[in-house]
Amino acid sequence: MLILSEADLRRLLPPAECIPVMREALAALARGDVEQPVRRPVLVPPGAAGLLAAMPAYTAAPTPAFGLKAVCVFPGNPAAGLDAHQGAVLLFSGTTGEPLALLNASTVTELRTPAVTAVATDLLARPDATELVIAGAGVQGVSHARALARVRPFRRIRLAARDAERARAACARLSAELDLPVEPADSLADAVATADVVVTATTSPTPILDRSWLRPGTHVNAIGSSVPSTREIDTATMASATVFADSAASVAVDTGDYLFAAAETAVSISASIGEVLIGTAPGRTSPDEITLFKSVGLPVEDLFAARHAVAQARSHGLGQHVEI
């Protein structure tokens, strides 16, 4: 079995490579070339520190392959300096069932999630978008800045976070890396008021975004909430935006952003990003339309990321081979 570490994956799945792989994964899902169930967590008693979810997927093209991510979600981890997502991704031969590779799931999630958001932003944000605001300066906030800078020529990026020192440090790193102004935002409301693209990537259990802050034509990426009990987006935004999903079926049962809003008013999901990619559904239809991409995270994304990383690792001689 091939073992791919965090360092291996950062070399193998940079945004320039991961974004087209996620485009391929979402299109394959929309075409019906992938089998994946709606994810289900292991039930835990109230007060447990986290949960475990199993995310399996299968694809036959170009060669048969199975993927399985066993992911633990521990919301308290960031306070201890750890990613909230921990676990492992396994890649299996779809011909013999042999386990082929094991990958660090925390890193796979960190890299493929913003790549999916970049695909959605490229499809839905206005072509003239120049200002990006990200709520959250943690793992996903930083990784989203890197990925989205590849799909729009942003002139400025602002990060809003509860921990001002963390936000300043993240801005300094990203400014040097991306060679553009990345600044901390003192007020999320003020920053959003002039934004073209907004990302919410926090662990907040209650809405952090208000519909009244958004100007016409804004594109919103709602990333942080991936369980039914939490949400970052208020009901008015969900009701007034044209909503797109990585998977409409998963968003409708797994995300508080959708479920809380749907319990209060009429909310609908326009299409999946994959359907927009393959041309069976429209994306943005007017410059003033507010579009919103709701991400939940899909097994097919992990499968395609793992398959690409393993193929590249074999070409470049990366990773460690172990007998099991």
How many CB atoms are closer than 10 A to CB 149? 20
Spacing of C-alpha 281 from chain mean position: 21
pLDDT at position 120: 98
Q: Are 202 and 188 in contact (CB under 8 A)?
A: no
* Mean per-residue pLDDT, 101-130: 97
Class of the CATH-defined domain 113-294: alpha beta
Query: What is the reported pTM?
Result: 0.95
pLDDT at position 54: 92
CATH superfamily of 2-109+299-321: ornithine cyclodeaminase, domain 1 (3.30.1780.10)
Confidence tier at 131 by pLDDT (50, 70, 90): very high
Nearest 5°: the CA angle 124, 13, 252 is: 45
Burial class (CB in 10 A: 0-12, 13-18, 19+), 15: buried
pLDDT at position 14: 97
Q: Are 321 and 2 in contact (CB under 8 A)?
A: yes
pLDDT at position 61: 85
Map out the domains of the chain as residue ranges: 2-109+299-321, 113-294
Read off the pLDDT of residues 36-79 as tens digits, 9 standing for 90 and up: 998 777 778 888 998 898 999 999 988 999 999 999 988 888 88
- The residue type found at 172 is A
How many CB atoms are closer than 10 A to CB 62? 7
* Mean per-residue pLDDT, 134-161: 96
